[in-house]
Amino acid sequence: MTDRIVLAYSGGLDTSVAIGWIGEATGAEVIAVAVDVGQGGESLEDVRQRALACGAVEAYVADARDEFANDYAMPTLKANALYQGHYPLVSAISRPVIVKHLVKAAREFGATTVAHGCTGKGNDQVRFEVGIQTLGPDLKCIAPVRDLALTRDKAIAFAEDKGLPIETTKKNPYSIDQNVWGRAVETGYLEDIWNAPTKDIYDYTATPEFPPAPDEVIISFKQGVPVAIDGHAVTPLQAIQELNRRAGAQGVGRIDVVEDRLVGIKSREIYEAPGAMALITAHKHLEDITIEREQARFKATVGQRWSELVYDGQWFSPLKRSLDAFIEDTQKYVSGDIRMTLHGGAAIVNGRRSETSLYDFDLATYDTGDTFDQSQAKGFIELWGMSSKVASTRDQRLAGS
């Protein structure tokens, strides 16, 4: 029986050429796997037909938009995940759901190998291959660009020679990856980190310099998940899409960062994540009134480590699974409403309410009705500072010896 290889297929030049390139290099049949995570563009059926026209023996397509929003974006939201404090893991969280479908397709079609279109320089090769190794330990992995010398000029020549139904004449200077959680742009003139981004690289966000009138929105959460916007029930996918539209119109969610890649180099990235950044902002403010202080402090540490694991391709790791359990436990009381104003590139929270809030007006107020017993503060301060006081006394005593 002829070996079969499943290929993560985007429908673009490189992966379309990879179908025939892999076939010629290995003698295997290629099954194209296309997964819709809200990247927009062509229909899955159009992508499927192109894969078959380019030589795939089968084409597996999956509408995973709700799956991606529910099972990947929502855990990211609950973790308030921002890698290095900036990046909401746009590409990093889409790879595990694609991996899941690649392994599923490999089982369905009897493939022994999984292929992806990543280079040997980025993070995605690790995310794909570590995920595949974890979910399908018996499966092998190849990367045509990295392992089979499929460069862009060779891809264009191959497509023209074979008459493949794919555009080969236009060369976008950027590398772009997008899904419903956000959009990532890199390479080209952006590689000079002194160069400012030009307006043409943005798609999800309007310029914040000339915004429309301020847009006030109320986001309702139940146990950390958005369930309504302005009183209208929404699914997680609908919440992200609605805030992509409204926050994007105000220029919210533009991120320009030099980040530390897993492979050891620094890389300049431009991200657009209007819905993700608006939701993370709202969610964090709701946590501020519903999560106990020490739990919240520790959760910030857990969230940072969670972000690093996911960025580094460890979505399916035991540690990630354990951190998920802690984060999920913290969300028990994260329910309520957040009011925010979207305007001029900013998402500003100006109202909070929750039946599970830990904010006590009578304890917080300085006016009549204050129930906080201020007479207890003096003794508390003495005890709180005792260890430092004792240590300082020793230090001063021995300073001159």
CATH code for the domain defined by 365-394: 1.20.5
Helical ranges in 110-191 per DSSP H = 124-135, 144-147, 152-162
Is position 147 annotated in a ligand binding site? Answer: no
Tokens coding 112:
């022994």
CA distance 150 to 44: 25
Task: Considering the chain, tell me which residue range(s) the CATH 1.20.5 domain(s) occupy.
Answer: 365-394
In the DSSP assignment, the letter for residue 197 is P
Given the residues 48, 50, 91, 124, select the one marked as catalytic.
124
pLDDT in tens, 135-164: 999 999 999 888 888 887 888 888 888 888
Task: Considering the chain, tell me which residue range(s) the CATH 3.90.1260.10 domain(s) occupy.
Answer: 176-353
Task: Considering the chain, tell me which residue range(s) the CATH 3.40.50.620 domain(s) occupy.
Answer: 4-171
Look-up of token digits 């308030």 = 80
CA distance 232 to 293: 32
Given the residues 95, 254, 268, 352, select the one marked as catalytic.
95
- pLDDT at res. 166: 78
Tokens coding 218:
């109320």
End-to-end CA distance of the chain: 85
Active site residue 335: no
Residues 6+ apart with CB under 8 A from 115: 5, 6, 7, 8, 18, 22, 30, 141, 142, 143, 144
Active site residue 177: no
Is position 204 annotated in a ligand binding site? Answer: no
One-letter amino acid at 238 equals: Q
pLDDT in tens, 63-109: 999 999 999 999 999 999 999 999 999 999 999 999 999 999 999 99
CATH code for the domain defined by 176-353: 3.90.1260.10
Is position 366 annotated in a ligand binding site? Answer: no
Residue in 216, 201, 206 with CA at minimum distance from that of residue 248: 206
DSSP E strands in 112-233: the ranges are: 113-115, 140-142, 175-179, 182-186, 215-222, 225-229, 232-233
- pLDDT at res. 169: 55
**Confidence band (pLDDT; 50, 70, 90) for 362?**
confident
CATH class of 4-171: alpha beta
Other C-beta atoms lying within 10 Å of the C-beta of residue 381: 10
Other C-beta atoms lying within 10 Å of the C-beta of residue 265: 10
**Confidence band (pLDDT; 50, 70, 90) for 170?**
low
